[in-house]
Amino acid sequence: MADRRVFRIGYDIHLYDTLGSRPTQSENETGCIDMSRDHPLKLRLPRQDQQGFDYFPLSVEAARQWAGGLPVTSSSIVAGQLEAVIGRLNRLELKPELRFSIMEALRPTLLVTATSLSRRFLRQPLVMPQEPRQMAELVDNLYQLAGTAYTLVAVHTIQHRDSIREVNAARLACESIHRAVRFAGASLLQAFQLYRPVQSRGWLTLHQLYALAEGQQLTQLHVEDSLSGSGTVTTAYLQALILGCCKPNQLRQGDLSAAYRGLQEWCALLSLERGPGPKGVFLADLESDRPALYSELFREVPGPAVRHVDPRPLVECLEKLSLQDDRPGVVFDKDTIVSPPLIAHLINALSKLSMRNFTRQRTDKAIWVGTGLSTCHYFMAQEQTFEQVLYGGNYVPPPLDRVSTNPFLQRRASRDPWQSVDDVPEGDSSDGDSPLEHEVTLDLETVALLQGEDEDEDIGEELPRQEPYPTYRMSMYDASPGGYCLEWADPTAGNITTGEIVCVREDDSTRWALAAVRWMGQLAPTRTLVGLELLSPAAVAYGAQMQHIKKGERTDPMRVLLLPEIKLVGQPPTLITPRLGFRERQKIILMKRGEEIFIQLTRQVAITSAFVQFEFRYIKQLGEILAEDKSRPGDSHFDSLWTSI
């Protein structure tokens, strides 16, 4: 690129104050470039109406020293200081070069602080407490303020390009837009991870930043960025745009981070083109506050601001990655892995349009929900434990597992992480020599002292125990033959995630059905909607063992659920297994109260981050084959020979 780049004329840059009011005609004439009246850019920027700045001298070195002196051990204090400083800088009139350099000095601290704070609000219960919500809002404010700062650099560089002497004006504008797009994408990613709706103007800001770069022909200029990732404005824009096309409300928080990281590289395969494009593409209106939509869902006649992106090159790349069976997915680091289930989800979301099969009806009925394979297994087995399913209802657990009547083990169960290490091996006989089987009688005062209780407390009161298979009573928002939409408002209901398997029972029913969490959406800080897809109206609980072919040994049993055949919809019987350990063409043994059924997993029909669903076939054993063999004569002459041997 030439040192003196000529900026393309084609867009207005309208400046708005912090309240969002549109500038008057006089402000528009004196405060912005009159490039074109056809398609004004709708960038909302603060006016530079402040004079004083008390935090540090306005120089790069002073900004770097100030950032280095912040208390790194307190991320919330650092974030508050950065919020105040960047917000004040955005109201100061500074040269674009100086504003950019100061922001570059503050950006490493900002990114580290945001990453540190994110650990305090990610992987939290679905209904978050107040403090994590405040941390999330603080990080989002930082992203927006930083994005605004870099947008100011780009706008002022374009407006006053003739006064830029120390650096290349086009490169300064391009790098600033690239940084702003990255922060806009980080804000969108956080909204997806918290299952919140994107804030007003969130998509519009992202679109308009790309339009600003496109108007200046800067979209394909490579930008080096060791902190947030190198690339072009186009790839940075597509990274956030395509993530919004991947049904983010159906993904877990970690999967969203991994997908966003992968798209940083994979979006180099894609391009943005003008016009509506063919069917099967995504359309983005640069003048709208909406994400990209399938071309089939785009209701308006595509205007001049519409761009289309064909996802097929990306889908083909992902399909090649999915065929690499010897790899556990795409590994970027130990915390960022694009797993095979995530690759399958991305392929499905980007390659075809899925429509709802059933009409939902509004309802406010109550429903009981249990989450996780262990809980589902328990209720599908008529409230029997896994051991009772395997060995019968009269099964008695080993002594160390019988802690319900032992106050000492109850206290240890909640605090001692080494308790499970000392389990009695299976097969040990109970001959009365174990000290845990002796009955020790203690007076209540001694029990209270040993448990750390005060004498004045109610010694006879039982210690609270955590329910091993908890269920939660929720309200339905709507329902259909294919599933439910629940209003998840219970803050004690744990950290339910997308892809989780759940069992559900309507308040007026005694039967449990099996479902999967397909999507989440937060309408308010304490109100979240959870979409469940029904998998089966019933299921049979089994244990599953795998047999090592070479050693002939069997693995420990694992919980599985057999979903019976549904002839009405042509659904064959399937098996729900844990996420790891099972694969196609594998032979396993189903166990239940001494019964053994030999099957082979044939085809994987569904996979999430929590479970896998397989079709299977039954394998006949030698005894069954001989019993069904009608061709052998009933009284063969060889029978007498066998009795004589």
pLDDT at 532: 93
Same domain, 514 and 597: no
Mean pLDDT of 13-34: 34
Q: For the chain, how many structural domains are there in total?
A: 4
pLDDT at 333: 81
* Distance of alpha carbon 236 from alpha carbon 219, whole angstroms: 10
Could you say which of 521, 536, 551 is where a domain stops?
536
Same domain, 82 and 107: yes
Segment 283-312, tens digit of pLDDT: 999 999 999 998 888 877 788 899 999 999
Same domain, 532 and 585: no
Residue 420 placed within a domain: no
Residue 556 placed within a domain: yes
Q: Find where tokens 């001298």 sit.
A: 57
Same domain, 220 and 268: no
Closest CA to 435 of 465, 415, 408, 462: 408
Give phi and psi for 111, each to the nearest 5: -65, -40
Same domain, 153 and 278: no
pLDDT at 351: 87
Same domain, 164 and 292: no
Residue 401 placed within a domain: no
Same domain, 506 and 545: no
Residue 519 placed within a domain: yes
* Distance of alpha carbon 285 from alpha carbon 258, whole angstroms: 26
Could you say which of 496, 514, 536 is where a domain stops?
536
User: If pLDDT is split at 50, 70 and 90, which confidence band does 614 have?
Assistant: very high
Same domain, 30 and 49: yes
Residue 475 placed within a domain: yes
Residue 159 placed within a domain: yes
pLDDT at position 599 over 60? yes
How many angstroms from the chain centroid is the CA of residue 598?
36
Q: How many residues belong to the chain?
A: 645
Residue 175 placed within a domain: yes
CA distances from 375 to 99, 386, 467, 468, 512 (A): 56, 10, 11, 8, 11
Same domain, 210 and 313: no
Segment 552-562, tens digit of pLDDT: 677 889 999 99
Same domain, 531 and 544: no
Same domain, 190 and 101: yes
Segment 94-116, tens digit of pLDDT: 999 999 999 999 999 999 999 99
Closest CA to 232 of 157, 307, 174: 174
Under 8 Å CB-to-CB from 380, ≥6 apart: which residues? 503, 512, 514, 538, 539, 540, 541, 561
The range of the structural domain enclosing residue 8 comes to 1-231
Report the CATH number at residue 613.
2.40.10
Same domain, 526 and 550: no
Segment 494-549, tens digit of pLDDT: 678 888 999 999 888 889 999 999 999 887 766 788 999 999 999 999 999 987 65
Residue 397 placed within a domain: no
Report the CATH number at residue 501.
2.40.10.220
